[in-house]
Amino acid sequence: MKQLKCPLNGLRNITEFTYGGEFHVQPDPVECTKEEWVEYIFFHDNHAGEVVEWWCHSASSYWFVARRNTITDTVIETMSVADHMADSTAGHAPGNNTLKAQQVINRD
Amino acid sequence: MTIPSISVKSPLHADHLALDAEFTARGIGSAVAYYGEQHAEQFNEQLSILDLSCINRIGFKGVQTCTWLEQQGVTLPQTPNSATVLPAGQIMLRLSSTEHWVLDSVTKDSDLCGQLRDSHNRSDVKSYLLERNHSHACFYIVSEPGSTSAAETMSKICAVDLRPHRFANLAMAQTSVARLNAVVVRHDHLGRLAYLILSDMTAAQFMWHSVLDAMQEFDGRPAGLNAITLEAK
């Protein structure tokens, strides 16, 4: 069975996890245009290669971020949202730019 | 058979009645004191399972939860997925950096959950109250002294390595047990290897019978609360 390392709970069978979709920057719902909001809600990159994704450990309802290669289906690393935000602020991780850190960290 | 006047019954009440259980008032409702002819009021020789769904339990989640609980004089576990036992026997579970559950004592009179609930309702702390009495059933699997049969039973229904040399006392795992989401806490009882299982209340019967099925090869059977309370004296 495949296994995935949850940043909170450690290595667990993949059956304990739920895929949460691509990790995208949420635009400000008040200030963004309709087109930006539609893009955020309905469209996906469906990129072949390294992507950043939301995953949830169902048993603890813990949401975290994984970097995965969609061609080889290899999980490169998993991290808490706080760690991911710290990385992205330092320019190490793809898929982020202006995300409001506190908005996401509150999902922990 | 005497059934005390109580407000809350375990979701397994009918199953207990079928085993000729005698009940006693405890926590938020009734618990099995002992079963049928098991008047010896002790644990089974090999392995026992107890329905502790009568224990008062509550949870808190939010950014100010830790600070607020410490202000209430509660000692918290330092890391997520661990537990502590308070001097009066209550068990504190830390599920994440911002979520804690409290289980009142089985053996001692305690209403820490009620006190915390009242205090929380009066405060404006940024913390959600989680009513775990209604959401989670609670079971306790207890080995005989020196035996690891509880761990071997759990290995049949849970993928996490819960053997005593890998899973310390008061360690906690949020995982899948018998394909149900569950919180498993190792909470040894007077030298006996033991695990608490908290899982969805609506599937309590399924969990109970799944564990009983897994316990069969160790001659595991249900035991009443008297086994704990009398042995603790």
Burial class (CB in 10 A: 0-12, 13-18, 19+), B134: exposed
Poorest-pLDDT segment among A6-15, B31-40, B55-64, B147-156: B31-40
pLDDT 10s digits, B68-80: 999 999 999 999 9
Task: Write down the pLDDT at residue B103.
Answer: 96
| Domains in chain A: ranges and CATH | 3-105 (3.30.2270.10)
Q: Is the pLDDT of residue B87 over 80?
A: yes
Q: Which residue of B has its CA nearest to A63?
A: B96
Task: Write down the pLDDT at residue B42.
Answer: 62
Q: How far is B175 from chain A (nearest CA, A)?
A: 5
> Would residue B215 be called left, alpha or beta, if left means φ above 0 and alpha means ψ between -120 and 50 degrees?
alpha
- Do the chains contact at A8 and B96, CB–CB below 8 Å? yes
Give the Cα separation of A3 and A6 in Å (integer). 10
pLDDT 10s digits, B152-195: 999 999 999 999 999 999 999 999 999 999 999 999 999 999 99
A38-75 burial by CB neighbour count: b if 16+ within 10 A, else e?
eeeeeeeeeeeeebbbbbbbbbbebbbbbbbeeeeeeb
Say yes or no: B81 contacts chain A, CB-CB below 8 A. yes
Give the Cα separation of B63 and B99 in Å (integer). 9
| Average pLDDT across chain B, whole number | 91
What is the pLDDT confidence band of residue A26, given thresholds at 50, 70 and 90? confident
- ipTM (interface pTM): 0.85
Cα Rg of chain B, angstroms: 17
Phi, psi of A74 (to 5 degrees): -105, 130
User: Which stretches does DSSP call E strand in A1-108?
Assistant: 3-6, 10-13, 17-22, 50-57, 62-69, 74-79
What is the pLDDT confidence band of residue B40, given thresholds at 50, 70 and 90? low
| Domains in chain B: ranges and CATH | 42-54+135-232 (3.30.1360.120), 57-133 (3.30.70)
What is the pLDDT confidence band of residue B14, given thresholds at 50, 70 and 90? very high
Residue A16 has its nearest CB partner, among B63, B97, B176, at B176
